[in-house]
Structure 1
Amino acid sequence: MTKYVSFYVGNVRKLGIVEGDNIYEIHDFGKEEPKGKTYKLSEIVFDIPVLPSAIICTLVNTPRMIGVSNKEEAREMVKSPKFFLKLPTVAIAHKQPILSLEDAIRPEVEIGIVIKSKMKDVPKSKVKDYILGYTVFNDITYPPGMKEDSYYAMRRDPADGKIKKMLFRGTHFRNKVRDTFAPMGPYLVTDEEIGDINSLKMRSYYNGELVQDGNSNEFIFSIEEILEELSKIVTIPPLSVVSTGSVGYINAQDASEFHLKPIENAIMVAEIEKIGRLENPTKIIK
């Protein structure tokens, strides 16, 4: 397993390999090269692991996120992986602040899959050949934003065939696509020693309290299925970050409405076994 980190020393962005508490400067991912200058983890400023060409997120990919407990039932309900986009410019690094509105916020701990080379119509059996590595991704969400994007329209009701005024949920925009709403890091980890990527513990914490506790074995659609389906729809560019969807919340009956009260400088943590622990403070904005 190789663990990469992108970081700043002064105003210079660098790439390194992490070994214990040390970082050895290198010039590119996945290439054999002499170890360069050495730094201590304690003396660097983290950057996002890669500068993503795209951030493509997977929705509702565990049963608890749609309110059921059985994976087969969930698969029948969802039918296929569902996707939305975040702007690459909303990504932030480990330790950088999440800008939160005053009334609500929530974490969504996810695996971020970093794509190595252009993908189009790639079958499940070949997906791993296109993965550079994995990072921790936190799909920060502002739940009230979904209501702001809902709207009414005159449409034919499939239940009775009549045209009527109907409420539509709208897009995942005001609830998902906000500045700082895509923390990722601290590391980019290759999969040589991860083992089964679809069987890793996933947790999130807020202000010291456990919020999510699950496992990637809960995924309705595996990482291979996600990337196969996505590459059928669109050509995935190199250095895209594709997230997997999140696990459910502790003691939450309705995941879509679950939210936390923002607290100034509270630490939000997203943690995935063998990949890393991503920490970001919250900063409340008006």
Structure 2
Amino acid sequence: MKLIRFGEAGAEKPGVIINETYYDVSSLVSDYDENFFAGDEINKLAESIKTADLPIVEKNVRLGAALARPSKIICVGLNYKDHAAETNAAIPTEPILFFKATTAIVGPNDDLEIPKNSVKTDWEVELAVVIGKKAKYVSEADAYNHIAGYVLHNDYSEREFQLERNGQWVKGKSADTFAPIGPFIATPDEIEDVHNLRLWLTVNGKTLQDGNTSNLIFNVPFMVSYISQFMTLLPGDVITTGTPAGVGLGQKPTPWYLKPGDVVELGIDGLGSSKQNVKAYS
């Protein structure tokens, strides 16, 4: 099943994609939020849509983030060897964790706003995991039972704020519009092998990132289990799993970053694509 949220910002309704057609399921569920993911609502929805007479939604509708604001976004840094190499960082021996503010969340095709005083706004295509069942001290063997689905995420970063302004990375990760999520959440049955998905990103039509989740340093069940040793993961929480090589910070011979007027497009096998037009802060 593919879950979407559609409509004006702040007033999105839940929907599904069936055979590439969008349907409104707001008569069946209120939203894709913690309450939805906490129970058996995904399975109930899958059964209900088989017989329900659902309104069709025009495809030109705005898509919101594929889930309502979660309690937290947990990010895993430097989780691809090629990305660690391009940034001259050591290969982590344990996952590097940091948070991204949930106020950064926007729809998959909403504009990217370069923050005030930013000079190093960067891109990062990432596979994100949506938690479907409360997870605390979960074993790696049991981790998949706590996953509701997978979704495309662009983990935008302001590198000066992140690396040159002291403190934790969260400052460079949390600006408004820095977390476009979607177009849809794919339930696990939609994805044959989460560890063999191509992920790519272009800026102004030029391919800059072209990787595969087979190159993750720490795989999905390990990350879910590991993070749950340090904090409780709630239904609807998002774990974003790192980016492959090709970010602006790693460009040779000179790093370069986004500017107003640029167009960023990205995608992951089985999880669709998104597009962000870059705007200046005003």
The CA deviation at 1:173 is 2.8
The CA deviation at 1:254 is 6.7
Do the aligned partners of residues 146 and 4 (structure 1) sit closer, same or farther apart at CA in structure 2, a change above 3 Å counting? Answer: closer
8 Å CA contact 1:25, 1:35 repeated in 2: no
Between 170-179 and 181-190, report the one with greater CA deviation: 170-179
TM-score, L = length of structure 2? 0.84
Runs of 4+ with >6 A deviation = none
Q: What percent identity do the matched residue pairs reach?
A: 24
- Counterpart of 1:272 in structure 2: which amino acid? I
**CA displacement 1:126-172 (0-9 Å, x = unmatched):** 1111111111011001112134423xxxxxxxxxxxxxxxxxxx310
For the aligned residues, what is the CA RMSD?
2.5
The CA deviation at 1:37 is 3.0
- Counterpart of 1:277 in structure 2: which amino acid? S
Quick check: which one's helix share is greater? Answer: 2
Do the aligned partners of residues 276 and 10 (structure 1) sit closer, same or farther apart at CA in structure 2, a change above 3 Å counting? Answer: closer
- Counterpart of 2:220 in structure 1: which amino acid? I
Q: Residue 34 of structure 2 corresponds to which residue in structure 1?
A: none
Say whether 1:274 aligns with 2:273: no
Do the aligned partners of residues 16 and 253 (structure 1) sit closer, same or farther apart at CA in structure 2, a change above 3 Å counting? Answer: closer
Q: Which runs of 5+ in 2 are unaligned?
A: 30-41
> Which of 94, 116, 134 pairs up with 1:118?
134
> Which of 94, 100, 103 pairs up with 2:119?
103
Q: Residue 15 of structure 1 corresponds to which residue in structure 2?
A: 14
> Which of 216, 219, 222 pairs up with 2:216?
219
8 Å CA contact 1:143, 1:259 repeated in 2: no
Q: Residue 45 of structure 1 corresponds to which residue in structure 2?
A: 62
8 Å CA contact 1:60, 1:246 repeated in 2: yes
8 Å CA contact 2:22, 2:57 repeated in 1: yes
Q: Residue 106 of structure 2 corresponds to which residue in structure 1?
A: 92
SS class of match (1:186)? coil
Partners of 1:175 and 1:100 lie apart in 2 by: 12
- Counterpart of 2:73 in structure 1: which amino acid? I
Do the aligned partners of residues 141 and 259 (structure 1) sit closer, same or farther apart at CA in structure 2, a change above 3 Å counting? Answer: farther
8 Å CA contact 1:138, 1:183 repeated in 2: yes
Q: Which runs of 5+ in 1 are unaligned?
A: 151-169
8 Å CA contact 2:263, 2:278 repeated in 1: yes
The CA deviation at 1:258 is 4.0
Report the count of equivalent residues: 259
Q: Residue 162 of structure 1 corresponds to which residue in structure 2?
A: none
Q: Residue 56 of structure 1 corresponds to which residue in structure 2?
A: 74
> Which of 202, 206, 218 pairs up with 1:205?
202
Do the aligned partners of residues 134 and 45 (structure 1) sit closer, same or farther apart at CA in structure 2, a change above 3 Å counting? Answer: same
- Counterpart of 1:119 in structure 2: which amino acid? A
SS class of match (1:173)? helix
Partners of 2:13 and 2:247 lie apart in 1 by: 39
Do the aligned partners of residues 259 and 139 (structure 1) sit closer, same or farther apart at CA in structure 2, a change above 3 Å counting? Answer: farther
Do the aligned partners of residues 130 and 258 (structure 1) sit closer, same or farther apart at CA in structure 2, a change above 3 Å counting? Answer: farther
Between 135-144 and 10-19, report the one with greater CA deviation: 10-19
Partners of 2:85 and 2:24 lie apart in 1 by: 46
Quick check: which one's strand share is greater? Answer: 1
